[in-house]
Structures are given as structure tokens and as C-alpha cells.
Amino acid sequence: MIRPVSAASALPDPPAPRAFLDVTASVLGRPWRDRCAGTAEQAHAATMTQAYGLPDLLARVLAGRGVLPGAAEAHLRPRLRDLMPDPDCLLDMEAAVDRLALAVRRGESVAVFGDYDVDGAASAALLAGYLRGLGVPARIHIPDRITEGYGPNAAAMRSLAGEGASLLVTVDCGTAGHEPLALAGSLGLDVIVLDHHGAPELLPPARAVVNPNRLDDLSGLGHLCAAGVVFLTLVALNRRLRRDGVFGAGRPEPALPDALDLVALATVADVVPLVGLNRAFVVQGLTVMRARGRRGLAALLDAASLEEPPEAWHLGYLLGPRINAGGRIGDASLGARLLTTDDPIEAARIAAELDRLNRERQAIEAEAVAAAEAEMDHALGLDPERPVLVAASPDWHPGIVGLIAARLKERFGRPAFAFALRPDGTAVGSGRSILGADLGLAVRAGVAAGLALKGGGHAMAAGATIRAPDLARFQAHLRQTLAASVHDARSVAALLLDGTVSAGGATAEMVRLLQRAGPFGQGAPEPVFALPRHRIVDVAPVGNGHVRARLRSLDGQAIGAIAFRSAQGPLGQALLNGIGRDFHVAGTLACDRWRGAERAQVRICDLAASA
């Protein structure tokens, strides 16, 4: 049974709120707090329950995520038609559409230059698929991570121009590609940039730079991934072509809603905030994906052995890593080819290859992460207040440095950068950050200061290429730039909980109720509940560093649980050594489907000794 957290008084919130279940330091060193402890949140939850008839649990989850009572119904049923902006609100959209419409009417050869991650592959597949459907020759070029690196490069510009392209469209990259795009222009290529990365004041030479994160863009759409920007561009282009009478019996109008599966995949995998328009993209994109109309995604679902209808978390944890595996340690073009093929045999072949590469990537990653964690354990032993972690090795594949950084960030709770040292004297790195510390801004400042050859990214993730001898200077720059924000972010870090639940009260029906408030992800955290005083009655390591457990409440009811990637850390060790002991357990709820039956399962994210 769900027991809501006790209501706060009508007085203003105290400066130091009481710890949830009196947990001031969990096994991960975090205090626990009630996400819905504020008087405003509690009032909103009560209004949703009393005036709108929402279940109390669902109302608390919505209020804890800033949803106002009057917006609750729209939040629970996000519709694209209600949230779609006019694409022309983006700067340069009209110029981009003018040039793309001309290319369609002329049947020009278009080169689509993407990034080697999921967002880049999905964006390239969106644009090229639309153009090819109208009979326009559209070639996709995804750069090789090792030989070309991120973004447009001179060799690719010459190659694409030499193959007869007259229009170049960069997707998920290009905003910082000044020199290569200037070369493209000199070779006779018209250039359009469709991107979402942080932009410098000086934009590259192009017919149009459509990027909601331009300094002068006031659209308010900076939360979109590149595929979202491309989709809005296609909406505007479709509107123009319809107005111009381009569609007819021999050229039917493309069904743009059918492409929302790609937008949903990119939105979740690129970890952009799941708010506003992005929520509608994911909700409606999942509906499209469940119909399995795109052969490449259907083959990838099969390769991942996913038999149930895909949910948002599947995109980030099952599909995304497999598509990324091609760009990390294999052929960077595999993802885009998978997402554009109509051949079921080819789709199955590429999906199987991506699945194999993902398993290979996991093995390489595990060894590298172990070495990086040992190095950082030593570094923090010497300097426990170190705000940013930087690790480097000549043995690391450049395609996994972002994964190493993500694991370091998760393990140590502070921004982390991992670099692969290359034989040419450069270091290629990727970083991950924590809420409140803008890593992309710090990297761009490093580029401007001459500490990095190139780099950029988002607040939460960034990349950089530097000269190996400059590694210490770059690390000092990150430390100086981010020290204050990291200190502030870590000082208020706490695990926020949405309520308490017992083993007997957690059901599949409850999980489905919670899913109505989703999809969950960046900017829309999944609800976390505490299971007070539950005993660990069975525990064992499983899979690739996971820990499986069985929890029993005081009334004798039991529930299955799992803590992912925890076996070697304090959480996993506490579980493995805690059999027969009582703990307060914190985690999210999910449905475990086995042999046609559904039951709730706890995904453990923290643990605390019960008094």
C-alpha cells in the first residue's frame, strides 16, 4: 500500500528540511529528501486530487515535477498538435527552407553530413529519407571517429563536392565548423547547418544556421535535440512544397508523423530534457515505433531480444547503445544505414553487426573503467575536494572515452573527462557533468583560450581534442572554471523521493499508473520511492556487474529488486553483505515480465541502514 509522506505545515519551508526517514547519509553518502515537501507542491497535489480527480500518488509525482494543476491533463496526454511551434520562429528557418525547396524542385544532389552518435544518425536518416522519398538524390556521410573526428572536415568537403553535390546540409554538427564550411563554399557547395549545440558568437559561413542555441535565437526551443530541429525543418519544408504545388500523383506528400520514431529515439538517447515538445515527440514516436514499420528499428528490437512494446528507457539503454557502437568502435555509417534501409535482410544483417559491436564495446569499456576508477580513487585520496576528474590513457579507444567519463561521474558524483592519448600527440576526450555545472561552456572557453584544438557540447556532456602536452593546463582550466558551481551542486545534492511503498503494495497496476506521468528522463526524473525497513532475504551478483536481491517487508510480503552496475561499488557491496539485515531501500518501480506474467520490481538506487 502507498503511504503518502506526511504533509508539511502551512509555515514557510525551513532552511534545513528534515531528512526523509531520517536518512542523513546513505551508503552513497547522500541525505534523503521529500521531493514534494514544499507547501506549494503539496497544495498543487491536493488540488489535482480534489478538483481534478487524479489519484493521490499520481498527483504527488506531477506536483513534484513542477506540473501545475491546470496543466496536469495536458501533461498526461501530450499532443504534438497542441505543442508544435511555428517552425519559422527559429532563426534562418525561412532561408533554409528556400534553399531546400529549390533543391527538391531541381532534383539536385544533396549531401547530408551527420554526427556519429544516435542523434546524428537519426537526424541524417530523417532528412535523407524525406528527400529520397521525393526522388531527390541524398547521400549521407557520417565521419569516422578516428580518422575524421567530430564535425565537418576538409577531406570530406572535397569528396562530397567532387561527387557532384551542390547542397551540403550538416545535421547535429557544423555550428563550430568555420574553416571546413568555408572550404565547402569555395568548392561550390551551398551550406545549411541544422544543429542544437552551443554556438559561438561568430557563426560559420552558410546560407542558413538553424540552431535554437544560437546566442541570438529567441525561439525558446534550446531543449530540442538535432533530430527535433530537423523535424521542424521538414515540417516547414513540407508546408512550402505543398503551397508550391510540388506534391501530386507522381510525387505523394510524405507522411511526416511516421518519422517520429526517429525523433523519439534521438531525443531520449541524446539525453535532452523531456519537457514540452520533447515529451510529445517521445510519446507519439513510441506509438509509431510499436507498429514496427521501420525495418531497421524492428530488426534492432529483435537483435536486442526486446519482445515487449518499447518504452522510453529502452531507447536509452537498449537501442541507443547499439546504434552508438558503430560510431564508437566500428563503422560509423552503420546506424544511419540501418535507419534508412527498406531491405529486411540488410536490416537484420546491420542490426546483428551492431549488436556484436555493442558486446565488444562492453568488454573494452569494463576494462578501461576499472583502470580509470582506480586512478581516480588514488587522485581523490590525495585531494578529496577535487571538483573535476580527468583521466587519460594511450590504451583507451577514442570511441569509449565518453562512457568512461559517464561511469566516473556516476561513481564519484562530480564532472569527469576521459581522454584517449593518440600516437600523433593529440588527446581526444569526452566529458560528462552533474546538474549545475556547465561543462560545454567550460570547454568552449578552453577552445577560445587556446587550450584545446577544438571542442564544445552541452551543459551535461562535452568533447574536446587537445595537444597531449596541454592536458595539465586543460585540467587546471576546468578546475578553475567549474570549482564554484561543482561545490554548490554537490553541497545540495540529495536523493529526492516521491513517497513510500511496501513490497506488498507495489504492483504492476501501480507501475502503469506512474507511467502516465512519463516519459521520464533528463529534466523529468523517474519517481523514486522508499521501502522502509525491508529485509534482504536473497542476494547475488548477476550479469555484467549487477546485483539482484529479494526484499521482504515487516508483514512478510516480498518483492524482487536489482541494482544495475553496482557490484563493485558501495551500493552493491552493501547489498551483497547485507543478507538478513533490515534497510531502508530507495529505488524506482518497473514491471518485470516473465512467461506472460507481470509483477513489480524495484530498481535500487540507494540504501540506508534502518534504525
131 contacts 233 by C-beta, under 8 angstroms: no
Same domain, 179 and 100: yes
Q: From CA 195, how far away is CA 141, in angstroms rounded?
A: 16
End-of-domain residue from the set 491, 521, 546: 491
Q: For 26-40, 282-296, 336-350, which range has the lowest pLDDT when averaged over its residues? A: 26-40
pLDDT the model gives residue 511: 94
Domain-embedded: residue 7:
no
Enclosing domain of residue 589: 13-36+498-609
Residue 581 predicted with pLDDT over 80: yes
Q: What is the structure's pLDDT at 3?
A: 43
Q: Of the residues 245, 261, 277, which one is the last residue of a structural domain?
A: 261
Which of 163 and 411 is assigned the larger pLDDT?
Answer: 163
Total tally of structural domains belonging to the chain: 3
Asked if the structure places residue 310 within a domain, the reply is: no
Residue 429 three-state SS: strand
Q: What is the pLDDT of residue 13?
A: 47
- Nearest residue to 148 via CA among 310, 332, 404: 332
Do 273 and 522 contact (CB within 8 A), yes or no?
Answer: yes
Look at residues 228, 249, 256, 280 and name the one whose alpha carbon lies nearest to residue 83: 280
Per-residue pLDDT of 163-203, as tens digits, reads 999 999 999 999 989 999 999 999 999 999 999 998 888 99
Domain CATH for 460: 3.10.310.30
Task: Look at residue 426 and tell me if it is in a domain.
Answer: yes
| Each residue's pLDDT tens digit, 488-503 | 888 778 999 999 999 9
Cβ(209)–Cβ(104) under 8 Å?
Answer: no
- 145 vs 223, more confident: 223
10 pLDDT band (50/70/90 cuts)? very low
- Give the residue from 342, 296, 349, 287 showing the smallest Cα distance to 319: 296
* pTM score of the predicted model: 0.89
Neighbours of 12 (CB within 10 A): 9
Which of 438-442, 522-526, 602-606 comes out lowest in average pLDDT?
522-526
Mean pLDDT over 430-442 rounds to: 93
- Using DSSP's 3-state secondary structure scheme, residue 270 falls into coil
Residue 601 within any structural domain of the chain: yes
Could you tell me if 600 and 504 lie in one domain?
A: yes
CA 152, CA 271: separation in Å to the nearest integer?
Answer: 23
Cα–Cα nearest to 139, from 130, 128, 147: 128
Nearest in space to 327 (alpha carbons), one of 339, 311, 313: 339
Check pLDDT > 80 for residue 12: no
Q: What is the pLDDT of residue 16?
A: 58
5 pLDDT higher than 60: no
DSSP 8-state secondary structure symbol assigned to residue 23: -
Set of cell numbers at residue 525: 526524473
Per-residue pLDDT at 18 exceeds 90: no
Choosing from 465, 491, 517, the residue where a domain stops is 491
Mean pLDDT for 474-489 is 94
Q: Is the pLDDT of residue 7 over 70?
A: no
pLDDT in tens, 109-130: 999 999 999 999 999 999 999 9
State the CATH number of the domain containing residue 28: 2.40.50.140
485 has a pLDDT exceeding 90:
yes
Q: Kindly state the percentage of the chain with pLDDT values over 90.
A: 85
Task: Identify whether the C-beta of residue 354 lies closer than 8 Å to the C-beta of residue 326.
Answer: yes
Model confidence band, residue 2 (pLDDT cutoffs 50, 70, 90): very low
What's the whole-number average pLDDT of the chain?
A: 93
Q: What is the pLDDT of residues 317-349, one digit of tens each?
A: 999 999 999 999 889 999 999 999 999 999 999
pLDDT at 131 over 80: yes
Within this chain, do residues 217 and 242 fall inside the same structural domain, yes or no?
A: yes
Residue 544: what pLDDT? 83
Question: Does one domain contain both 471 and 511?
Answer: no
Give dist(CA 398, CA 419) in Å, integer: 7
On whether both 507 and 603 belong to a single domain, the answer is yes
